[in-house]
Amino acid sequence: MNAKDLKPNHRILLVDDNTSIHADFRKILCPGNASTAAINDLEAALFGDAKPAAEQATFILDSAYQGQEALAMVKQALAENRPYAMAFVDVRMPPGWDGIETIARIWEVDPELQVVVCTAYSDYSWEDMRAKVGQPDSLLVLKKPFDNIEVQQIAHALTKKWQLNFQTRLQITELAQANEKLALSEERFSKAFHESPLPSAIQSYPDQIFVDVNQRFAEVAGFKREEMVGRTAADLFLWEKPEITDDWYERLLKLELVRDQEARIRNQAGSFREMLVSLSVVALGGQPNVLLLAQDVSERALLERQLRQAQKMEAIGQLAAGVAHDFNNILTVIQGHAGLMQHQLAADNPQAKSLEQITRSADRAATLIRQLLMFSRKQVMQFRHLDLNETLRNAIKMLERLVGEHVQIDFRPHDSLPAIHADNSMVEQIAMNLAVNARDAMPNGGTISIVTSLDSIHRAPTPLDPERRDGEYICLTFSDDGTGMDTQILNRIFEPFFTTKAVGKGTGLGLSTVFGIVRQHQGWLEVESKPNQGTTFRVYFPASQQPAEKTQMIVDTALRNGRETVLVAEDEEALRQMVVQVLRIQGYTVLEAASGRDALEVWKQANRPVDLLLTDMVMPGGIMGSELAERLSSQSPHLKVIYTSGYSPGMAGRDASLLAGRNFLPKPYSIGKLAQFVRECLDAKAKPDEVSRPPEVGNENYAPVPANEKVSGIFSRNELAGRNGVEDWRIGGEAATGCAAPNAEGQLASTSP
């Protein structure tokens, strides 16, 4: 049938269970000759072409009273080649299908039918109707009661629309037939092929000669399009493994699918990009060809490698954090007994050197555990608003001793630098690790340049830092003029245990530790390096809106003996015995318990008041350290409490996630630190209404603690440097505990914000 020969279709189906509705529609749509003039005027207004009365046809209205009956009538009309142009369908038609189900079933057999839903109720929202029946372009909603003119307008418009749709389909079919002879030319040179964002090419089959390539494929290969057409991939040395294309074509010969094959394409510069390649055999002009579609997945592959690296680092971090508890308990016992023996031996005793080696080895092991926890971002942090310049100035002398006289340090601070919210010791750790890394890259000496600056940054996420950055950031730049690194080493420098140093010269945790610390401070790292051209590390910290806090100096004071009563709750027997021995040497009366339940029983049976509870955070028996402290504090509000643990935060459930900056003594600790910590905690005055509370720190950092709060257990500089200060632990000499001395009011000033 020709589209021009199509006659109007005025057949309408009315589906409603109410007979009076059918009568109303007949009066409206089939009024007879009396309203012929009005209908003519209406159609002229709608379509702009008035027709003589002789040409005006009335609507043919058929009635159905249930959905099943309507479906049967639609099928019959299609079979007779007299389809309905539109249908009015009521929503509620008990007891059979409702209107929505009726429409859905009718559209299964006649999807071109225009439908008007007639309803006086909001049984279905428009979105519900679309979801159930689809085809919103063929669906209208008519609310009852409706106006006669409205019904007439809808009937004329939708029957006309049905006719136009039918004509369009016929014209499309005719157009497709007319364009069939042009299909080969359009397929080869169509805009879709040449402007596709996917690298695409057409190769002859089976000799693999490029018949055509699009611009994107030429860009990836690093050639001009004209340089590729007429040549094979082997001629262009295109693929990293040329034999891979032979495998693809062999599979095509076997009628196998070639989809998403991993391959690396080489450009003219010699660099590679990772691709996923798919091939399909197509016939063009009667000749077999292969359509090659490639997807550049280089960035995705990089992200996958970074994800695997992050997962590997996280796994190592979880492992380190998981063993930290037992390992730190063991180290505490080793350090404690070594310290006791050193105190008992004279300096010229031959065994003193052996004890010194034991102590140093324990220090190294403790440092290794700390580094693992740092790089995995599981080390407890004490955040303050710091002046980065001041922190670096205080660390310069230490760095100069660390790098040696053959390396010069050029420090150039930026004036009026905003504060950063950071852990002072961790910033020093970053500086130490970067300085050591620079020193090792300059075996014959050189210069380390340390520069601070304030940068305004606005950039999208990058593969190395998958966060959007907007605002002001403090940049710490470490530059050296050493040996530099190639790309292969640069891709691995943040991997834990990766090192280019000789065996025994490094742990491979220096830069991975820096990476973990920086990420924990919400910052990021950038690295630039080339062989024999030095290396530059840039560390970015978010600028703080708060002013920098004044650093409070930690003063070591002579330790005093005590006569108070201390209850020690520790499940590790060797560690408990060592702690008890140290405290008894100091003059304290010590009660001991192996668990929380044992501690409650010891407390109950004690014939004296207990002044201090020293408790492990995690113990067997169902009562953790914080719960034990709460129970005993409720009975004795003035009880002082020191919490200790070898767990990293987040590894021991609820209690370990509460580790705090006050009254918390992390393992491993030296006997000097233990003794001074206990003395200062006992000497600190509590507020009249204050009871000892469990620590209050989340998994990532310590909570801020006011300056007049209880004792803070932080490492002093010599503890960070790896010395435990075992000499003169009874008088406080080298036994730096990291606890501040009491002020004039007997309270301990905290270095926490």
- pLDDT for the residue 109: 92
Supply 286's token pair: 């009667």
For residue range 224-246, what is the model confidence (pLDDT) as tens digits?
888 889 998 888 888 888 888 88
- pLDDT for the residue 115: 92
CB atoms closer than 10 angstroms to residue 504: 6
- pLDDT for the residue 584: 92
Average pLDDT over residues 411-437: 90
pLDDT for residue 282 is more than 60: yes
Instruction: Please tell me whether residue 702 adopts helix, strand or coil conformation.
Output: coil
Supply 186's token pair: 């359009």
- pLDDT for the residue 122: 65
Cα(391)–Cα(427) distance, rounded to whole angstroms? 8
Average pLDDT over residues 451-460: 91
- pLDDT for the residue 36: 53
State the pLDDT confidence band at 651, using cuts at 50, 70 and 90. Answer: very low
State the pLDDT confidence band at 589, using cuts at 50, 70 and 90. Answer: very high
- pLDDT for the residue 5: 64
- pLDDT for the residue 717: 30
pLDDT for residue 129 is more than 50: yes
State the pLDDT confidence band at 33, using cuts at 50, 70 and 90. Answer: very low
The residue written with tokens 């992050």 in the block is 310
Average pLDDT over residues 138-150: 86
Cβ neighbours of residue 665 closer than 8 Å, sequence gap 6 or more: 642, 643, 644, 673, 674, 677, 713
Find the DSSP H helices in 190-276: 191-194, 215-221, 225-228, 243-253
Instruction: Please tell me whether residue 429 adopts helix, strand or coil conformation.
Output: helix
- pLDDT for the residue 511: 83
Average pLDDT over residues 474-485: 92
Cross-strand bridge partners of residue 540: 475, 524
To the nearest whole number, what is the mean pLDDT of the chain? 78
Reading phi first (left if > 0) and then psi (alpha if -120 to 50, else beta), residue 657 is in: alpha
Class of residue 125 by CB neighbours under 10 A (exposed 0-12, middle 13-18, buried 19+): exposed
Instruction: Please tell me whether residue 410 adopts helix, strand or coil conformation.
Output: strand
| Residue among 102, 529, 572 nearest 333 (CA) | 572
Could you tell me how far CA 410 lies from the centroid of its own chain?
A: 37
- pLDDT for the residue 34: 46
pLDDT for residue 715 is more than 50: no
pLDDT for residue 202 is more than 60: yes
For residue range 74-103, what is the model confidence (pLDDT) as tens digits?
999 999 999 999 999 998 888 889 888 999
For residue range 254-271, what is the model confidence (pLDDT) as tens digits?
888 889 888 888 887 778
Fold for 308-345+554-753, please state it: Rossmann fold (3.40.50)
Angle, CA 291 vertex, CA 184 and CA 304 arms, to 5°: 145
Class of residue 671 by CB neighbours under 10 A (exposed 0-12, middle 13-18, buried 19+): buried
* 3-179: CATH, from 3.40.50.300, 3.40.50.2300, 3.40.50.2020, 2.30.130.40: 3.40.50.2300
pTM attached to this predicted model = 0.43
For residue range 520-537, what is the model confidence (pLDDT) as tens digits?
888 999 899 988 889 999
pLDDT for residue 396 is more than 80: yes
| Residue among 88, 708, 649, 21 nearest 382 (CA) | 649
Judge whether 278 and 259 are in contact, CB under 8 Å.
Answer: yes
Name the percent of the chain lying above pLDDT 90: 24
- pLDDT for the residue 517: 85
pLDDT for residue 356 is more than 50: yes
Q: Specify the range with the lowest mean pLDDT, choosing from 346-355, 390-399, 514-523.
A: 346-355
pLDDT for residue 253 is more than 60: yes
Query: How many residues can be counted in the chain?
Result: 753
pLDDT for residue 542 is more than 80: yes
- pLDDT for the residue 397: 85
Find the DSSP H helices in 80-224: 99-109, 126-133, 148-179, 183-189, 191-194, 215-221
> Domain spanning 190-296 has what CATH number?
3.30.450.20
- pLDDT for the residue 499: 72
| Residue among 483, 398, 476, 393 nearest 437 (CA) | 483
> Domain spanning 388-542 has what CATH number?
3.30.565.10
Judge whether 548 and 421 are in contact, CB under 8 Å.
Answer: no
- Domain positions in the chain are 3-179, 190-296, 308-345+554-753, 388-542
- pLDDT for the residue 305: 74
Average pLDDT over residues 15-33: 85
Same fold across 3-179 and 308-345+554-753 = yes
Residue 239 DSSP one-character state: B
Average pLDDT over residues 191-204: 84
| Selection from 185-189, 319-323, 715-719 with the highest mean pLDDT | 319-323
Cβ neighbours of residue 441 closer than 8 Å, sequence gap 6 or more: 480, 482, 483, 484, 534, 535
